[in-house]
């Protein structure tokens, strides 16, 4: 009986490989990093972004502060004006939420959400641009698509391995593979990838803010403010974000490179006055 099950192994592996290769494509990120994408179409990705944004707006309290809303929108508009054409043509929607946690996000399809608590650490328009530029950096670097593609591949791989374990050793073994395999995938595949994406979004966002006429040195000040405001945090190897000290060091490193970009933007008339 088991011989038939074992004979299915090459077929299962072959099917898994064919599915993975058929769904994925290789591209290059804005920093030159190799990416595997294609697990979801751009249209589906934009729809997911719009759906997530709508759900967030339905659950969270929207700010009615006209001045703060205009402030955030001004920063978003200045950054979007410097994006590649495919993203400039999108109608970007911005929402300011009444939420103490200093946070922000951007989603495919041109969606930006900002918590009012961000103003406790982003002390001026340049620091706010560092936050929003970082989040938009995730979008234009196709990080959401990359993450979804990776997760699809991980789940498919675990399903195939679980099926093989079940065929050879029974349902208990299959359950164990799926449970512990999932933990390993999260710790060793998904989280390190997220740290890579966070570092890349720092690079892309800091360049974007300089191109838009915001001072790139203020990205360093922002993260120093973040560190001062934050309490305990998980160790770097178990975090989806880079170590704050390393993050500040890398942002500081790039300031000298981006200063000419910033000066050129100002000389060309890109001088945001958002507040």
Catalytically active residues are 135
- Return the C-alpha torsion angle 17, 18, 23, 24, nearest 10: 50
Cα gap 255→240, rounded to integer Å? 24
* Buried-state track 261-274, b at ≥16 Cβ within 10 A, e below 16: bbeebeeeebebeb
Cα three-residue angle 179-183-185, rounded to 5 degrees: 115
Q: Which is nearest to 147 in space by CA: 115, 98, 186?
A: 186
Q: Where are the alpha helices (DSSP H) in 186-243?
A: 191-211, 218-229
Q: Which is nearest to 137 in space by CA: 175, 82, 189, 174?
A: 82
Pairing mode of beta strands 93-97, 111-115 = parallel
Contact criterion met (CB below 8 Å) for 45 and 37? no
What tokens were used for 152? 């699809």
The H or E element containing residue 34 is strand 34-37
By CB atoms closer than 10 A (0-12, 13-18, 19+), residue 56 is middle
């Amino acid at each position: 009986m088991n011989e038939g099950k074992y004979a299915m192994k090459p077929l299962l592996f072959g099917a898994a490989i064919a599915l993975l290769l058929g769904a994925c494509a290789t591209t290059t990120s804005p920093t030159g990093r190799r990416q595997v994408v294609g697990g979801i179409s751009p249209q589906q990705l934009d729809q997911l972004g719009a759906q997530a944004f709508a759900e967030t707006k339905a659950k969270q309290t929207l700010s009615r502060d006209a001045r703060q809303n205009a402030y955030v929108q001004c920063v978003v508009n200045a950054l979007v004006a410097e994006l590649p054409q495919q993203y400039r043509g999108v109608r970007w929607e911005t929402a300011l939420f009444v939420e103490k946690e200093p946070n922000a996000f951007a989603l495919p399809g041109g969606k930006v959400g900002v918590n009012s608590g961000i103003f406790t650490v982003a002390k001026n328009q340049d620091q706010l641009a560092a936050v929003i530029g970082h989040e938009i950096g995730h979008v234009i670097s196709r990080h959401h698509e990359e993450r979804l593609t990776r997760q699809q591949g991980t789940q498919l791989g675990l399903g195939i391995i679980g099926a093989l374990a079940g065929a050879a050793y029974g349902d208990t073994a299959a359950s164990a593979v799926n449970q512990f395999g999932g933990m390993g995938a999260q710790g060793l595949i998904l989280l390190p990838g997220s740290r890579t994406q966070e570092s890349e979004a720092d690079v892309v966002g800091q360049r974007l803010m300089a191109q838009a006429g915001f001072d790139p040195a203020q990205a360093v000040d922002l993260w120093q403010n973040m560190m001062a405001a934050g309490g305990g945090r998980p160790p770097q190897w178990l975090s989806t974000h880079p170590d704050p000290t390393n993050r500040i060091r890398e942002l500081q490193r790039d300031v000298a490179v981006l200063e000419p970009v910033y000066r050129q933007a100002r000389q060309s008339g890109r001088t945001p006055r958002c507040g």
